[in-house]
Structure 1
């Protein structure tokens, strides 16, 4: 199997899944994967990400985009401590938008 085919095969699996790890172990060998610290994350895992967002109106969408891009099941908890730049209003709008989706 050539390298392009191997890369395509790995790209089609969910990162950090059992299937992903098995394919990497077949490609690289188990000991290499162990040395590199490659492992599968249980599909039942739910990561809680708590983010303080004081005066983050301008960066909030980027922050959430970065967090959401990590391929792990997660809940995102945003904590605002009386921001003065409109962060609170943005959070309320985002919450309403998500409820309507």
Structure 2
């Protein structure tokens, strides 16, 4: 059962990832940003690059969506329409750059 939840990580790596994620979530709640920077920097120390990026995507997506929909669907939709060019450019750049994640030197994630 633990293997299903942990994604094949060791108990120590899973506990470290959970602790880092909780800390990064606390910082995001207190300050409003910096969660992805904390997650990718810390995860890159003890996880392979593809797992570090995967571990950053879900918590960041969940917290950003909860912030976006905090005032309801109407204001979130209006904001999405206002920033549609930025959102489209972001999705396109992620789609182009994601395959190169393994080509980035491991030390670059720590900058």
Global fold match (TM > 0.5)? no
TM-score, normalised to structure 1, is 0.29
> Normalization by structure 2: what TM-score?
0.28
The structure with the largest strand share of the pair is 1
Bigger Rg over Cα:
1
